[in-house]
Amino acid sequence: MANIVCKTVYFETPGPQNTQETLKLAKERADELGIRNIVVASSTGETGVKASEVFKGYNLIVVSHVTGFRKPDFQEFLPKNRNIIENNGAKILTTAHAFGTLGRAVKNKFGTIQVDEIVSTVLRLFSQGVKVACEISCMAADAGLIKTYEEAVAIGGTSGGADTAVVLEPSNTHAFFDLRIKEIVCKPRL
């Protein structure tokens, strides 16, 4: 078997200014590999709208924050963005964060670090977006929106927008250590 040579782009700084380039690079690599499953994080739906325009015809899952993430009973995802995304054929997933459910509640209440926080912190050694990409892939697999035996392109970011894309083989959250990051398409060079 021959070695695989592919391009990885490193952004000088993290953040939403990299969104369009991240989506472009992610689509190029998905097309090269024949990947149809795309998972993207989007808090307000703005990045989801952009992704739904780039990935029309793909199995695009836009993963939002849970209701109550910022404050009780508040959903950040804007209804106008939801309509555009759904009209473009993408799915929206709002569910408990794979790396921040009861563990986060225990940490907030008692100040003790939980295993999900340790996993998140280790993934952030690569970048915030790598952590997000892994997390949203687990969430999409848990919801049955992507299969664990099919590669996906997962897109995350740092403080809004998208600045990271990875090719991975997802896992369910309860089998997290079966997840495999196959390639880093782009990420901030921190």
- CATH number where 121 lies: 3.40.1380.20
Is 122 part of any domain? yes
Q: Is residue 143 within 8 Å of 98, Cβ to Cβ?
A: no
CB neighbour class for 135 (10 Å; exposed up to 12, middle 13-18, buried from 19)? buried
Provide the number of structural domains found in the chain.
1
The tens digit of pLDDT for each residue in 34-75 reads 999 999 999 999 999 999 999 999 999 999 999 988 899 999
Provide the 3-class DSSP secondary structure of residue 63. Answer: strand
In a domain, 4, yes or no: no
Give the per-residue pLDDT at 105.
82
129 part of a folded domain: yes
Buried b or exposed e, range 38-66, using 16+ CB within 10 angstroms: bbbbbbbbbbbbbbbebbeebbbbbbbbe
Structural domain of 129: 32-185
User: Does the model's pTM come out above 0.75?
Assistant: yes
- Percent of the chain topping pLDDT 90: 82
Instruction: Assess if residue 181 is contained within a domain.
Output: yes
Structural domain includes residue 141: yes
Which run of H or E residues covers position 145? none
Mean pLDDT of 77-106: 92
Q: Is 93 within the bounds of a domain?
A: yes
Residue 18 inside a domain? The answer is: no
